[in-house]
Amino acid sequence: MPRAFAEIAFTPAVRLVQEKQGSAKSYAKFFLPDVDRGDQLTTRETTFIVERDGFYQATVSEAGWPYVQFRGGPRGFLHVLDNKTIAYADFRGNRQYLSVGNLSKDDRISLILMDYPNRRRLKIWGRAKLVDIQDNPVLVARLHNDDYRARPERAVIIAVEAFDWNCPQHIPQRFTIAELEPILAPLREEIESLRAENERLNSKLNG
């Protein structure tokens, strides 16, 4: 676990519970100065991020309530601008603007990126800046894939403050149709081949 993530996640209340539950000593080492801060994306994180076609995003309201939603798009719609910045084009949806409203008052944001087939999970914490398309159409266009039929309204630019990889212990394996295609395609071909052979044999027997 990187030090930057521990400094954000392990608040006094959290550390008190860790003390009571007996795990405080095992996590204390992540606060040592020689532990990697983990606030700059490496090739590993960059590759993982740009391969995703969705993620879970959390913001907090003025009343202190958390709000979590799923953000989806074409694979790679979440961009890595540099080793401290990620961004995506925010598409028009049901026009409730809960996340946008929350971020206008509190720029803290948290993302969870999932790779269910390989049981991998990346958590990112940062601070978000909203850029309306009217203010910077070039930036929004840069983040938007024209082949994806959705209307972008703004860009969400996230300054990364910390990230952490989770263990796979309780992550279920799930697959999309696209991820199953390499397995299904040979089976379909074999079925078609057997069907054709069956028809040939039936034709021969009935001929």
**88-109 tens-digit pLDDT:** 999 988 889 999 999 999 999 9
| H-helix segments, the chain | 3-9, 12-21, 24-28, 43-50, 98-105, 137-143, 177-206
Give me the pLDDT at residue 207, please: 66
Considering the domain architecture, whether residues 110 and 137 belong to the same structural domain is answered as yes
On whether both 84 and 5 belong to a single domain, the answer is: no
**For residue 52, is it within any domain?**
yes
Q: With a cut of 70, list the residues of the chain below it in pLDDT.
A: 207
Report how far residue 26's alpha carbon sits from residue 17's, in angstroms, rounded to the nearest whole number: 13
Structural domain for 1, as ranges: 1-37
Considering the domain architecture, whether residues 72 and 134 belong to the same structural domain is answered as yes
Q: Are residues 45 and 26 in the same domain?
A: no
Question: Phi first, then psi: what are they for 84, rounded to 5°?
Answer: -125, 5
Only one residue has tokens 């799923």, namely 70
Task: Give the number of other Cβ atoms within 10 Å of residue 46's Cβ.
Answer: 15
pLDDT at 71: 93
pTM: 0.85
Contact 36, 195 (CB under 8 A): no
Let me know: does 84 contact 143? Beta carbons within 8 Å.
no
**Which H helix or E strand runs over 121?**
strand 120-132
Positive or negative, the CA dihedral 128, 133, 136, 141 is: positive
